[in-house]
A and B are shown apart, each in its own frame.
Chain A
Amino acid sequence: MRAGTTRVRLVAMTVLAALSLATAACAEDSTGGAAGGPGEAGGMKSGLKIAFLPKQVNNPYFTTSDNGGKAAVEEFKGSYSETGPSEASPSAQVSYINTLSQQNTDVIVVSANDKDAICGALNEARQAGAKVVTFDSDTNPTCRDLFINQATAEGIAANQVKLISDAVGPEGGEIAILSATANATNQNAWIELMKTELAKPEYAKLKLVDTVYGDDQDQKSFTETQALLAKHPNLKGIISPTTVGVAAAARYLSGSTYKGKVQLTGLGTPNQMRAYVKDGTVKAFALWNPADLGYLAAYAGGALASGLITGKEGDKFTAGKLGEYTVGKDGTVLLGDPYTFDASNVDKFDF
């Protein structure tokens, strides 16, 4: 009886393991594809294996950007895949980079959870033949071939400060920042530049009193907003340069007595913010088009892997419908200026 239970358990485990591996193997067959020779117009190779590795999966922002990438990869007849950790941690991302490298991926398009921690893995993947394009959040320039910059940090900082200043009005007052995680590369760069921007004479009446972190979690961002308003009764405005944060803050404000009294701007998506623009909680917010960002990143990766460009300053490549782009300093490609959404145009967008 006892030996029997053991045997049954053993068999069950083996079957379970074999089953999960077998189903997995089937999934692999349908996505595989060998890199072919040059074919398409512009000298882009067809059949390139291009993988998107966002900070985390199940995040609407990255779903949008990765779908943009997918559209681009389909245009130049490559093989697209998206993979990534369910939580935004650098060590989990390293594991996925290693996996992509073993899968002989031609291009890894990654948004870095830590600019240093994933470096070793990325370089190991490059030695094995992969091209690395970062987007949204960069690594050290030594660990990737190109960085697709959604907007310059200066451009974003200037835009966000201008928007909150316009919303708060000429009297100015206290403002605060609701950020994502305390160590997000891009968030911290923007916050520093916002401080520089706020030091300018035209913003002398705006006073930054606090920076809080919502960790890009809806619930935490919501309660941090609540705490922020309790802590600073004279607060006039909040900047939340993260899509999760700004939506949570808007949801809190719109249901509170602060609606219309405390101004809010940030980086948000039209679909998340539409209701709050219409009910008057938010006058204007900004973002780039994440789908365009992913689209450009995919084309840049394709051009690298096809040998059309090497990633050095001055290299030019064509990114489908977006037109021609030039590689700038430190191997970066700039998507464009941040785009401001308000009541007049928010309905024209769907992402």
Chain B
Amino acid sequence: MSERAAAARRVLGSWDVIMLIALVVVSAVGALTIDGVASPRFWRFVVLEALPIALIALPMTLVVITGEIDLSVASVLGLTCTVMGHLWASGVTSLPVLIAVSLLLGALLGAVNGLFVTGFGLPSLAVTIGTLALYRGLAYVVLGDRAVADYPTAWTTSAIAPIPGTTIPWMILVLAALAVVFAVVLHATPVGRGLYAMGNNAEAARFAGIDVRLTKFWLFVATGAMSALAGVFWTLRFASARADNGSGLELAVVAAVLLGGVSIFGGRGALLGVLAAVALLGVLRNALQLAYVPANTLTVITGALLIASVVGPNVAGMLRERLRRRRSTAPTVSPIS
């Protein structure tokens, strides 16, 4: 039994390693075969593109581990962009104030999701599909078809400024710091263990003394705030606040989280794998683009990877389950492996 548990842990843990190895292999193969992948500028562009996805993927990982999902993240991002743009256009010229208001707004929007899911016990899939449309609609109410684009150049250049001496944007340090915080919470605290527990069996988790509702509520708040942070970055990076900012980004985030080995049914997954998956998707996309692969083919490849990532672990899980059942019903039959 303990041997099997250890083996299971090894298999589960190794998905992160698979992702990391895939990232290294794709990067290495790309660098050797495609002109430009080895250049520092390539990595700058990959980081810029992957940053908003990674920022949102951090809390999303935790949410999905508890068995919930938040599909409204891109709309929270879009609404934050428009509110920030509107405030700037109406005379709020302090960046710290704009950032603070944006984060608060994001937290509030997340709290609305959290309230519906935990307070009224509604499925998060349904709730956040609703707020996906609602928040995006509100974004159009705020700015309509206008775009606010006249931010100070100092803001827009500093948002994408590189770490001195490199080409890598400094915002990656912010991401790294936040990743450490989320990783510690998930992997090294009772709260984190509680998240896995409620993902596996919410009922049991509640009997074990975990406040499932309150924890999930705060997770949605955190997701909202992180989406808002991504929104601030988005606005400054593109120097443009528009109601359709980041539309469709929720799929990129969910794709990265699932490819990163987080089970869509909850209870399983790790942050390392998710971050590796964000990077892998970014590198693959950009490398294939550099290699003149058309957009349609790229979409097909990304889709295929996603299917593989969902099907792979589940098929493995099913095989494990079948093996276990066979063992428990017929203990005399020796296991195949």
Same complex for A and B? Answer yes
Task: List A residues at the B interface (Cβ < 8 Å).
Answer: 1-6, 9-10, 13-14, 17-18, 20-22, 24-25, 27-28, 31, 57-58, 81, 83-87, 89-91, 94-96, 98-99, 101-103, 114-120, 128, 181-183, 188
Q: Contacts A89-B247, A95-B49; is A102 near B290 (CB within 8 Å)?
A: yes
Interface: B240 (CB within 8 A): yes
Q: Which residues of A contact B147 (CB under 8 A)?
A: 114-117, 183
Q: Contacts A57-B296, A90-B240; is A24 near B288 (CB within 8 Å)?
A: yes
Q: Which residue of B lies closest to A22 (CB)?
A: B33
Q: Which of B22, B290, B296, B298 contacts A103 (CB 8 A)?
A: B290
What is the distance, in angstroms, from A86's C-beta to the closest C-beta of chain B? 4
What is the distance, in angstroms, from B10's C-beta to the closest C-beta of chain A? 8
Interchain CB contact under 8 A, A119 and B319: no
Interchain CB contact under 8 A, A9 and B312: yes
Interchain CB contact under 8 A, A102 and B21: no
Interchain CB contact under 8 A, B30 and A21: yes
What is the distance, in angstroms, from B37's C-beta to the closest C-beta of chain A? 9
Q: Which residue of B lies closest to A185 (CB)?
A: B147
A119, B35: Cα distance in complex, Å: 25
Q: Which residues of A contact B34 (CB under 8 A)?
A: 21, 24-25, 28
Q: Which residue of A lies closest to B19 (CB)?
A: A13
Interchain CB contact under 8 A, B319 and A102: no
Q: Which of B242, B246, B286 contacts A114 (CB 8 A)?
A: B242
Q: Which residues of A contact B149 (CB under 8 A)?
A: 115-117
Interface: B160 (CB within 8 A): yes
A120, B161: Cα distance in complex, Å: 12
Q: Which residues of A contact B42 (CB under 8 A)?
A: 102
- Please give 15 more A-B residue pairs, beta carbons under 8 A apart, in addition to A17-B22, A86-B295, A95-B289: A2-B10, A2-B320, A3-B7, A10-B21, A10-B22, A20-B288, A24-B287, A28-B34, A28-B35, A31-B292, A89-B248, A95-B286, A103-B35, A117-B149, A120-B239
Interchain CB contact under 8 A, B25 and A18: yes
Q: Contacts A13-B18, A18-B29, A120-B239; is A87 near B294 (CB within 8 Å)?
A: no
What are 8 pairs between A and B in contact, CB < 8 Å?
A: A86-B295, A116-B149, A117-B242, A118-B238, A119-B239, A120-B237, A120-B239, A128-B41
A21, B146: Cα distance in complex, Å: 40
Interchain CB contact under 8 A, B290 and A6: no
A114, B244: Cα distance in complex, Å: 11
Interchain CB contact under 8 A, A21 and B240: no
B contact residues, total (Cβ < 8 Å): 64
What is the distance, in angstroms, from A97's C-beta to the closest C-beta of chain B? 10
Return the CB mask of B211-250 against A: 1 if under 8 Å, else 0.
0000000000000000000000010011110111111100
Q: Which of B29, B237, B290, B312 contacts A17 (CB 8 A)?
A: B29
Q: Contacts A13-B18, A21-B30, A95-B286; is A83 near B294 (CB within 8 Å)?
A: yes
Interchain CB contact under 8 A, A99 and B289: yes
Q: Contacts A17-B22, A21-B33; is A2 near B145 (CB within 8 Å)?
A: no
Interchain CB contact under 8 A, B18 and A10: yes
Q: Which residues of A contact B140 (CB under 8 A)?
A: 182
Q: Which residues of A contact B308 (CB under 8 A)?
A: 13
Interface: B93 (CB within 8 A): no
Q: Which of B11, B33, B145, B238 contacts A117 (CB 8 A)?
A: B238
Interchain CB contact under 8 A, B242 and A21: no
Interface: B181 (CB within 8 A): no
Interchain CB contact under 8 A, B316 and A27: no
Interchain CB contact under 8 A, B22 and A13: yes
Interface: B182 (CB within 8 A): no
Interchain CB contact under 8 A, A85 and B295: yes
Kindly list the 3 A-B residue pairs having the minimum CB-CB distance in the complex, ordered from nearest.
A1-B337, A24-B291, A116-B149
Q: Contacts A1-B336, A87-B248, A183-B147; is A99 near B295 (CB within 8 Å)?
A: no
Interface: B201 (CB within 8 A): no
Interface: B126 (CB within 8 A): no
Interface: B123 (CB within 8 A): no
Q: Which of A1, A84, A86, A183 contacts B145 (CB 8 A)?
A: A183
What is the distance, in angstroms, from B288's C-beta to the closest C-beta of chain A? 5
Interchain CB contact under 8 A, B244 and A25: no
Interface: B192 (CB within 8 A): no
A84, B320: Cα distance in complex, Å: 44
Q: Which residues of B contact A114 (CB under 8 A)?
A: 147, 238, 240, 242
A308, B240: Cα distance in complex, Å: 34
Interchain CB contact under 8 A, B238 and A90: yes
Interface: B36 (CB within 8 A): yes
Q: Which residues of A contact B316 (CB under 8 A)?
A: 2, 5, 9
